[in-house]
Amino acid sequence: MPTSRFDLILFDLDGVILDSRSNMERAWRAVQNEHELTTPFEAYFAEIGRPFADIMARLGLADRAAAIETTFRRSSTETISQTEFYDGMADVLSRISGSSVKAGIVTSKDEIRARLVLERLDCHFDIVLTPRADLRGKPAPDALLYAMALLHTDPVHTVFVGDMKSDHEAAKRAGIAYAHVDWGYGDPVDDDRHRLSEPQMLLTLLGLD
């Protein structure tokens, strides 16, 4: 069996493990209705992966960000249990969890919703990082660097799995490998060396197939 050079694999959540587009779209409709916004969902969706406040600023909604986020989180939480994992992902994560490779989550999703999602999976994550005041959100590398520090893992032995340009940039700024999932929501960057077309390829990447 081939041996992976990666001792730690970190995952984004939305668009990588969880197919949450429909959940986000319902939540954004609630935002549009309650706050009388005409900003289309597609404009919001193009920015996902960044901290919510940063998205609002990029959409010109910074002055209403807190109220909009409250509505969005409430609506999203109400239907988060209806979201589905990508086919084969739960089994792949279970395989990784049972191996010697450490695994973690680095997501822009808040802790409550992230936990509601992850508790449905039969696997263990060594670290779950959600937004916090002392760490800048993606595309800043802070959370990735923090995860490696806590898990005593060198950047050369770490890979981050994502689907958005903000994920790619965060990995690049952290000095770690990046794997882009083609089933996600964003387009790959030209220099994405690791391209994954199905979850099973994660096991190949880690030498676990």
CATH for the 8-19+84-205 domain, from 3.40.50.1000, 3.30.230.10, 3.40.50.180, 3.40.630.90:
3.40.50.1000
Pairing of strands 127-129, 177-181: unpaired
Q: Where are the domains of the chain?
A: 8-19+84-205, 21-81
User: Residue 14 in 3-state DSSP?
Assistant: strand
Are β-strands 102-106 and 127-129 bridged in parallel, bridged antiparallel, or unpaired? parallel
Model confidence, pTM: 0.92
Cβ contact 3:209 at 8 Å: no
Exposed (0-12), middle (13-18) or buried (19+): which is 190, by Cβ within 10 Å?
exposed
Q: Region 118-138: what's the mean pLDDT?
A: 96
In tens, the pLDDT along 19-46 reads 999 999 999 999 999 999 999 999 999 9
Cβ–Cβ < 8 Å for 196, 181: yes
